[in-house]
Amino acid sequence: MNNGKATAGFTLGIIGLIAWILPLFGYPVNIIGIIMSSIGLKSEKRTKAIIGLVLSIIGLVLTLGNSILGVLMSTMI
């Protein structure tokens, strides 16, 4: 039943590793990836959901770091 959500979370986790470059896209992709992977943990594709969750969390941390770096760089000018 939740196999599609596990796959969606995995896919969004992979996309999130690219989307962190632009925080405008990185935040929603990674947050939705975390939500979908969390729901997908109850499915038969639990491994895929766990990998998607880890990738989405890494992407979210990178997005947050990119946002902080952008703010710091803009205040130094």
pLDDT of residue 72: 94
Mean pLDDT, residues 60-73: 95
Q: Where are the domains of the chain?
A: 3-75
pLDDT of residue 8: 94
pLDDT of residue 11: 96
Q: What is the pLDDT of residues 9-66, one digit of tens each?
A: 999 999 999 998 998 999 999 999 999 999 999 988 899 999 999 999 999 999 999 9
pTM for this one? 0.90
Which token pair is 62?
A: 């990178």
1 to 6, 7, 45, 63: CA distances (angstroms): 10, 12, 10, 31
